[in-house]
Amino acid sequence: MLFLLSPAKSLDFETQPHVASHTQPLFVRQSSQLIKVLREKSPQQIAELMSLSDTLSGLNVARYQAWSTRFTAKNAKQAALAFDGDVYGGLDARSLKPAQLDWAQAHLCILSGLYGVLRPLDLMQPYRLEMGTRLATDKGSNLYQFWGSMISVYLNERAAADTSPVIVNLASEEYFKAVDLKALKPRVVSCVFEEFKSGKYKIISFNAKRARGLMVRYAVEKKIATVKKLEGFDAEGYQFEAAASQPDRLVFRRKQAA
């Protein structure tokens, strides 16, 4: 079973990682191609392309210039520890033990506009490039065309070892669109997190993001291997709602935020 997460805009490269173990990213050649395109753009062009302030565009132009095909502990950090924000607050990878991070390494894939797919312990250098960015390359007008079926082919390879391959989609719509479903072989199961508000259940973006991270945390701690066992997820007041769910769409609800 593989779990998919989106990356985060917020990054933490200040906190020292609590583990030394790391791996190299998988699609360095493709990332290098994207960096080459980004380096050709001015701060103003980056600001317009990504709807960034002048300060943020300047920061990211500097990141693109500093980016290297050589990933080390000095210029990079393990992805699960480098990403910050709502999803990664729920995952809280900084408190995972080395053995738990190893389990996550074997079962979690983080989708990325620049890196394609990152494993939790893959080193990454700081960047900003959302999957929905309309960055033109020789492969097309956006990143979906750039990555094509590469991500799906990789996921197929990862899932091939399982007798009943399943991908648990905890990524946002923007990032999951980068997975070519026509090329993807494993069954896909999505998890939905809803809150009771104004008399009905609805998805609240901030809470749903955190819940996706919490679900991965739950899977890591319990070493979840079947879809059925995902139904036991009960972090921060969520409960599985069988009546609202379907075999490939698991709905979890709570009355109020914990």
Q: Phi-psi category of 152—alpha, beta or left, where left has phi over 0 and alpha has psi -120 to 50?
A: alpha
Whole-angstrom distance, CA of residue 81 vs CA of residue 221: 17
Whether 115 and 31 have beta carbons less than 8 Å apart is answered as yes
Q: For residue range 29-70, what is the model confidence (pLDDT) as tens digits?
A: 999 999 999 999 999 999 999 999 999 999 999 999 999 999
Whether 89 and 65 have beta carbons less than 8 Å apart is answered as no
pTM: 0.96
Alpha helices by DSSP H, listed for 40-96, are: 43-50, 54-66, 79-82, 86-91
- For residue 226, which amino acid is it? T
At 258 the pLDDT is 55
Tokens of 27: 């699609």
Q: For residue range 174-229, what is the model confidence (pLDDT) as tens digits?
A: 999 999 999 999 999 999 999 998 899 999 999 999 999 999 999 999 999 999 99
Domain boundaries, the chain: 2-25+77-254
pLDDT of 257 higher than 80: no
